[in-house]
Structure 1
Amino acid sequence: MPPKADKGKEGETKGGAARFGRVRNSLRMGIVGLPNVGKSSLFNLLTEQPLMGLSRHARDASRASDAEPVEPSDTGEHGGGVLIPFSVEWEAKLWATRDDPDARQAFLDGSSGVVSAMPKMVVQGFKELNLGYFFTAGETEVRCWTIQKGTLAPQAAGVIHTDFERGFIKAEVVAYEDFRALATGRGMGEVKAAGKYRQEGKSYVVEDGDIIHFQFNVTTSAKK
């Protein structure tokens, strides 16, 4: 159960922050089992998870003067962590302009330099959960795939399809920043000419933003 909210004068959670308690702060528990089977490791896993908090502004944050200060110590009593301030109302208004580039730009121009907190939420969320990502690209679509940090190329291929991992041969890789700097079209010709298109094997650790083409071969056993 989460800890009870600290109510302010107006009945809101202190600082407008959503509180996320850890197990050790709100629950007494014990783990029973044989010696040396990982009880301590399990308990540490349950009580030391990463923490990220979101602090909702009570007012429209479309004007810089409306941004209420948020103290990082607001999360300290629950073990610390990152606290990201944002305005639901402002984000909703920005989202409503997603299909109209001109209206979106006009809204941002009138927001006194305020920018969306969504990218920061995503980036910080990935960091706290130890997640990474890579891209695959074809003639008709580009896909982004989520993996755990430290994932090897065959296991990353398995996120797409188990056959990719089972029959893994190699990964043809280019870093996103290299592609962005060198490619003037959709092809990889310029990237290859610059020596930035490389082949990696089973021990390659996939990096954030890698654009990967997996080579694999799966043979079907003959039915008896």
Structure 2
Amino acid sequence: IETELALADLETVERATTRVERRAKSGDKEAQARLAVYERLRQTLGEGRPVRALSFGGEELRFVRELHLITRKPVLYVANVDEEGLGGNAQVEAVRQRAAEQGAEVVVVCAAIEAEILELDPAERDEFLADLGLDEPGLNRVIRAGYRLLGLQTFFTAGPKEARAWTVRIGATAPEAAGVIHTDFEKGFIRAEVIAYEDFVAHGGEQGAKEAGKWRLEGRDYVVQDGDVIHFRFNV
């Protein structure tokens, strides 16, 4: 499958190359820059390797994004092992090596253990994990790895009756995060009242965090951090 995807991307790159070759020969600087990027792509794809194994920045990254190549998409390998294999084994190491060559990630889980965890209440689950020497279920690691690959993070809203997690891209500003909840929040954004997650928990909630001086006001340019607990002020 990976070879077929690489060949499909190679066709896309070759078509793009044909479109810009004439302009490049006439001295067009941008076309020449595109050709240089396309040549790197052609070489890598021709070897059957995915585009995500390459690194690009600035204008080069823009050229690559415009092609919408399939093998540039992030990949996560989930290695299902038995209980003894959670610490790693030869098969897992082979997967890790392949993933490293492709710019992918690997998470090791034991599906049998995960199935047992689903049948337990929270207290029993924690005791079960502790007996196995594990800090958390494998599913948590899969979710975090997926977020990393997709460039996503979580922020929270918390009120008297409900606390909720929201997903936003890394680098999003406070108004953009507000827009995830409702577009009116983004349009009428005034300010964000922010408490870091660690401070919220350590001081027993919003009031305790305020008393400890961990509550702060942020404006439109504030870049949301993973785990922020935010109350948005807006007017529409």
Identify the TM-score tier after normalising by the shorter chain. Answer: 0.7 to 0.9
Q: In the TM superposition, what are the counterparts of 1:91-170 in structure 2 within 5 Å?
A: 91-97=114-120, 99=121, 101-102=123-124, 104-105=125-126, 107-108=128-129, 110-111=131-132, 113-114=133-134, 116-170=137-191
| Matched position secondary structure for 2:67 | helix
3-state DSSP class of the match of 1:43? coil
Of 33-42 and 87-96, the range deviating more from structure 2: 33-42
2:12 to 4, 9, 30: 30
Distance 1:170 1:66 in 2: 47
**Which of residues 67, 70, 78 is equivalent to 1:43?**
67
Matched, 1:210 2:232: no
Q: 1:116 to 1:26 in 2, by over 3 A?
A: farther
Query: Are residues 106 and 153 of structure 1, via their aligned partners in 2, closer, same or farther at CA, if it must alter by over 3 Å?
Result: closer
Aligned residues of 2:129 and 2:137 also touching (Cα < 8 A): no
Displacement after TM superposition at 1:95 (Å): 1.0
Secondary structure of 1:30 counterpart: helix
Task: Measure how far apart 1:28 and its partner are.
Answer: 4.2
Say if 1:22 and 1:48, in contact at 8 Å, map to a contact too. no
TM-score, normalising length from structure 1?
0.72
SS in 1 for 2:66: helix
Q: CA deviation at 1:208?
A: 0.4
Give the conservation status (yes or no) of the 8 Å contact 1:157–1:164: yes
Give structure 2 stretches of 5+ with no counterpart. Answer: 21-30, 35-61
Distance 2:65 2:122 in 1: 51
Cα deviation for residue 94 of structure 1 reads: 1.2
Compared CA separation, residues 135 and 40, structure 1 to 2 (3 A): closer
RMSD: 2.9
The DSSP-based 3-state class of the residue aligned with 1:24 is helix
Instruction: Describe the superposition over 1:127-151 as per-residue Cα deviations: whole angstroms up to 9, x where unpaired.
Output: 1110011000011110000000000
Q: Report the number of matched residues.
A: 190
Structure 1 residues 64 and 54, CA gap change in structure 2 (3 angstroms): closer
Match in the other structure for 2:28: none
